[in-house]
Amino acid sequence: MTKLLGTLTGIGGAMILTFYKGRRLCLWSTNIALLHREPSSHDAPIGSLLLGCILAFAAALSYSVWLIIQTKMSEKFPWHYSIAALTSATASILSVIFALSTERDWSQWKLGWDFRLLTAASAGILASGVCYPLLAWCVRRKGPLFTSAFCPLMLVIVTLSETLVLDECLSVGSLTGSVLIVGGLYMLLWGKSKEKRMEHSDIVSSKGTLQCEAIHNTDPSS
pLDDT cut 70: percent of the chain above it: 80
The secondary structure of 51-77 as a DSSP string is: HHHHHHHHHHHHHHHHHHHHHHHHHH-
Tell me the pLDDT tens digit for each residue of 52-70: 878 888 888 888 888 888 8
Q: Which amino acid is at 9?
A: T
The DSSP symbol for 125 reads: I
Q: Which residues contact 149 (CB under 8 A, 6 or more apart)?
A: 10, 185, 188, 189, 192
| pLDDT of 169 over the 60 cut | yes
Residue 31 and residue 167 in contact, taking contact as beta carbons nearer than 8 Å: yes
> Is the C-alpha dihedral spanning 44, 46, 49, 51 positive or negative?
negative
Tell me the pLDDT tens digit for each residue of 29-53: 666 655 555 555 455 566 677 888 7
The continuous run of DSSP H or E covering 139 comes out as: helix 132-142
Q: What pLDDT shows up at residue 31? A: 63
| Residues facing 170 on adjacent strands | 25
Q: What pLDDT shows up at residue 204? A: 59
Read off φ and ψ for residue 170, nearest 5 degrees: -75, 170
In 3D space, the residue among 56, 75, 46, 45 whose CA is nearest the CA of residue 15 turns out to be 56
Which three-class secondary structure state does DSSP give residue 25? strand
| pLDDT of 102 over the 70 cut | yes
Q: What pLDDT shows up at residue 208? A: 57
CA distance 32 to 156: 19
Q: What pLDDT shows up at residue 135? A: 83
Q: What pLDDT shows up at residue 25? A: 75
3-state secondary structure 154-182: HHHHHHHHHHHHCCCCEEHHHHHHHHHHH
Q: Where are the domains of the chain?
A: 2-26+47-218
